Amino acid sequence: MLYVYFLIAVLFSGSIFLLKNKKWMHFLVYGFNLMQLIFAIYLYRHLGTFEIAYFKYDSISVLFAFILAILSFVAAVHYQIYEYNQQQSIRTVQIHNAVYIGFNVALMGVYLSSQYGLLWAFVEATTLTGATLIYHDRKKIVLEAVWKYVFACSVSITLAFVGILLLSVAVQKVGLSDLSFDLLKSNALQMDPIWLKSAFLFILVGFSVKMGIIPMFNVDIDAKDVAPFPISALFSSVLLNAGFLAVYRFYQMFQITSIKPWMNHVLLIAGVLTLLFAAAYLLKVKNYKRMYAYSSMEHAGLVIIALTLGKVGILAAFLHLTFHAIVKSGLFFQVGQIMRLNNRVKINITGYFYQNPFGGLLLLFGSLAILGLPPSGLFISELLIFKELLLQQNWILVVLILIALTVIFYILLKDVFKLLFYPATQKFETDLKGTVVENSLQLMLVVLSIYFGIFQNHYLFDLIQASI
């Protein structure tokens, strides 16, 4: 089935360049999205299966594949409306849609890889395809952000590759020649801790650029700021998940070794610093895209902290990634409507609720959900994180996290309420064409998050439990 997935992706991507009709281009993307959803169902029904030697369908792969399939479709619909309103050329849409399929394939490759070298190659593929998607509008400021993104990602991915080389040294010293996850895990206790610690540092720093955490977080924020809104949504959800998975695979393999406490200390430092930096940068935020981008940075920091808290923490981390991806993508889609209706996303916009009442409600509920207020699913995951921190008597961590979250909570609510309910200071040039479809899909995402926050879906929990 994996052969079929890759083959269809190549055929659809190539066929888009032969078409001269935008509707047919979008039709092919929707066809690919449908196939991707069918493929995710196939993965679920074949859990634990190896295919083509270097790919394994484990529970993490299936969970992230479903998130990708759903959000990729929603993003494709929003992009069709986006390019229609921007009156993009046929050539621009051709490049975007063809590369968009490649971006999805690269992410799926990250999720399914069972070997570290292959995972690294697919992460690099997300850089090349992602940079092309960012450069969609061909503006000077966009070009600058793309060059920064390519340069910083190239440096970061090179550092990750150094980490993999150090890992291969540790592997060779015990007589192995394969970097497959299962083999590494079964031989982890024989490997030299010094080489493993060095490898982990480089891998964490290298893949931090995809997850948006300390130290390589800035380029991710700039990319989300200038990219089309559907792409910003995917960068804050499915790409963030890919960055986390690249780090988690290493942690998962070597958590049974003597370096686990050391890895936990490194992750805690990175997580807390990420939260504090997100709070500090939010104090100076100038537009809503950057505001929600820094919010993604905050949640990435929470996930990294959760990873160090044992089995309950890992459960909370995967729940948090799932709920965050659903809610945050919906918020970026709604900010896209704000941009279309006001020609800007500056913090000084007011009166949006009166301009677009239903969209304003979605933005309000989505913002409350991303802050972790009940009945959002994020409330459950954050409650689990704080419960474990308190049980383990990490008082200093609790205080630092609460300070950062309080600042973030205040800034987001202040700016969102100003946007929605302050009297309008500008003339409305309202064109709600296309918002019914957009709002329906965004409502689906908000309802999905609330559903997971109220009901314990056994499919979701079974997948996460199987990965722990």
- The per-residue pLDDT for range 146-197, each reduced to its tens digit, is 888 898 898 999 999 999 999 999 999 888 878 888 889 988 899 999 999 9
Q: Does residue 359 contact residue 337 with C-beta atoms inside 8 Å?
A: yes
Q: Does residue 220 contact residue 278 with C-beta atoms inside 8 Å?
A: no
In the predicted structure, residue 42 carries a pLDDT above the cut 80? yes
What does the alpha-carbon distance between residue 240 and residue 311 come to, in Å, rounded to a whole number? 21
Start-to-end CA span in the chain (Å):
26
3-state secondary structure string across 138-172? CCHHHHHHHHHHHHHHHHHHHHHHHHHHHHHHHHH
Tell me the C-alpha to C-alpha distance, in Å, between residue 368 and each of 35, 48, 275, 450: 34, 37, 18, 11
Cβ–Cβ contacts within 10 Å for residue 312, how many? 15
- The amino acid at residue 398 is V
| Poorest-pLDDT segment among 20-34, 75-89, 132-146, 318-332 | 132-146
What does the alpha-carbon distance between residue 156 and residue 127 come to, in Å, rounded to a whole number? 11
What does the alpha-carbon distance between residue 424 and residue 185 come to, in Å, rounded to a whole number? 59
What does the alpha-carbon distance between residue 223 and residue 111 come to, in Å, rounded to a whole number? 22
Residues 311-325 have a mean pLDDT of 94
How confident is the model at residue 226, as a pLDDT?
Answer: 87
In the predicted structure, residue 433 carries a pLDDT above the cut 70? no
Helix axes 140-172, 116-134, angle to 10 degrees: 180
Residues 108-127 have a mean pLDDT of 94
How confident is the model at residue 251, as a pLDDT?
Answer: 94
Which pair of structure tokens corresponds to residue 416?
A: 């969102």
3-state secondary structure string across 342-401? HCCCECCCCCHHHHCHHHHHHHHHHHHHHCCCCCCHHHHHHHHHHHHHHHCCCHHHHHHH
Cβ–Cβ contacts within 10 Å for residue 443, how many? 16
pLDDT band, very low/low/confident/very high, at 434 (cuts 50, 70, 90): low
Tell me the C-alpha to C-alpha distance, in Å, between residue 33 and each of 13, 37, 68, 92, 320: 12, 6, 9, 20, 24
In the predicted structure, residue 278 carries a pLDDT above the cut 70? yes
Which residues does residue 113 pair with via DSSP β-bridges, in sequence order? 55
In the predicted structure, residue 237 carries a pLDDT above the cut 90? yes
What does the alpha-carbon distance between residue 139 and residue 122 come to, in Å, rounded to a whole number? 28
How confident is the model at residue 436, as a pLDDT?
Answer: 83
Tens digit of each residue's pLDDT (9 = 90 or more) over 330-356 = 999 999 988 888 887 888 888 888 888
Which pair of structure tokens corresponds to residue 1?
A: 């089935």
Which pair of structure tokens corresponds to residue 353?
A: 């609720």
pLDDT band, very low/low/confident/very high, at 424 (cuts 50, 70, 90): confident
In the predicted structure, residue 400 carries a pLDDT above the cut 70? yes
Element (H, E) at 285: none
Residues 92-120 have a mean pLDDT of 94
Q: Does residue 110 contact residue 242 with C-beta atoms inside 8 Å?
A: yes
How confident is the model at residue 384, as a pLDDT?
Answer: 94
Q: Does residue 210 contact residue 296 with C-beta atoms inside 8 Å?
A: no
Which residues does residue 180 pair with via DSSP β-bridges, in sequence order? 115
Pairwise pLDDT comparison (218 vs 107), residue with the higher score: 107
Q: How many helices (H) and strands (E) does the chain have?
A: 20, 2
Calculate the average pLDDT of the chain. Answer: 90
What does the alpha-carbon distance between residue 214 and residue 269 come to, in Å, rounded to a whole number? 9
How confident is the model at residue 236, as a pLDDT?
Answer: 93
In the predicted structure, residue 426 carries a pLDDT above the cut 80? no
Pairwise pLDDT comparison (425 vs 132), residue with the higher score: 132
Q: Does residue 297 contact residue 273 with C-beta atoms inside 8 Å?
A: no
pLDDT band, very low/low/confident/very high, at 121 (cuts 50, 70, 90): very high
What does the alpha-carbon distance between residue 434 and residue 386 come to, in Å, rounded to a whole number? 41
Cβ neighbors of 400 (< 8 A, separation 6 or more) are 272, 275, 276
